[in-house]
Amino acid sequence: MRIVVGILIFSLIILIHELGHFIFAKKNDICVQEFCIGFGPTIVGFTKGETKYSIKLLPLGGACMMLGEDEDEEANRDPRSFGAKSVWARMQVVLAGPVFNFILAFIFSLIVIGTVGVDVPVIGSLKEGGAAQSAGIKPGDVITSIDGEGVSVYRDVDNIEAFCRSNEIEVAYLREGQTFKVKLTGTPVPGTKLTDFGFKSGAGRVRLDFFNTVKYSANEVFFWIKTTLKSLGTLFKGRADVNDMQGPVGVVKVIANTYDRASNDGIFYIFINMVNIAILLTANLGVMNLLPIPALDGGRFVFLVVEAIRRKKLNPRIEGAVNVACFFVLLGLMMVVMFNDIRKIIFPG
């Protein structure tokens, strides 16, 4: 059951992403040849109008295939092909997938925060003798910023260890209406690349009124966008490597493990935990697809921006070759990540 739930959540997120491309393709009168969930051989499908709708054998993916999308010069002579449309129309189609992921993350955030509240950045407890306690921070203090970056949820405090740039940070906090600033010097966590600044736990979640629920739901989406970008930063800075990345197999395993941990607390907590992890995944997918890498939505958008500036189309053969080359590089990376996911399942630890 837990594996099925994992696949369903992952498939839903992909479905919404591709639905964004599909809706805006139709809106701009672009011929959609196939709309599918999954990869590989078709299990079930039907054709309505010009579009084939199908479910493929491998459920971890999906596609919205448009006429002329692959920069085929002959196909692009058709006025309803992707390449024949205006730059603005193509930009809409390309950006719609990631934007739909962020909208889905916002809707899921409304569900979670409206149901169980938000983890306000209030200190619940500190590590005895840790840097935070030694600097005068106390339970009940409200953390407002870390190194000049605003804090909206307690998870920003939790993430200090993973994303801090050095072993020294500046923390601003609020106590009885007065703002204080202190510098904390952390200690390395043995066997890791992390730094411990002495924070232990937050004060818990707080239920909000309607308008603050909407506000914090938007903050939740930005939190996960920011966290994804910071995680990519650790990869480029050498604080993480490919072995720390997770592909579809690893994601499904994480969902399954989360399902198992929540199952002891009942259906309600299973539901909340599944929606919570879906927020992370859909925001992550939106960010990853916006990276300016050819073959991804972000790379295509960059090509379109260049085209708009030049007021002239790029050579379709060059653009197509770059996209294909990057696609195979990304496919190779995905295979490496998937192999690592499977290896970790077979040989844990």
Q: Which of 18, 69, 71, 220 is catalytic?
A: 18
Give the Cα separation of 205 and 212 in Å (integer): 13
With H, G, I as helix, E, B as strand and everything else as coil, classify residue 228. helix
On the CB side of 179, CA atoms within 13 Å amount to 6
Question: What are φ and ψ of residue 235, in 5° steps?
Answer: -70, -45
Ordered DSSP codes for 311-334: TS---HHHHHHHHHHHHHHHHHHH
For tokens 């259906």, name the residue: 267
For tokens 């910071």, name the residue: 230
Give the Cα separation of 169 and 49 in Å (integer): 59
CB neighbourhood size of 187 (10 A): 12
Q: If you ran DSSP here, which 8-state letter would residue 77 be given?
A: G
Ordered DSSP codes for 143-183: EEEETTEE--SHHHHHTHHHH-SSSEEEEEEEETTEEEEEE
* Cβ pair 279, 220 in contact under 8 A: yes
Distances (CA, A) of 288 to 61, 218, 306, 347: 14, 19, 21, 28
Is residue 18 annotated as part of the catalytic site, yes or no?
Answer: yes
Strands of the sheet containing 142-146, edge to edge, are 149-150, 142-146, 168-175, 178-185
Catalytic positions = 18
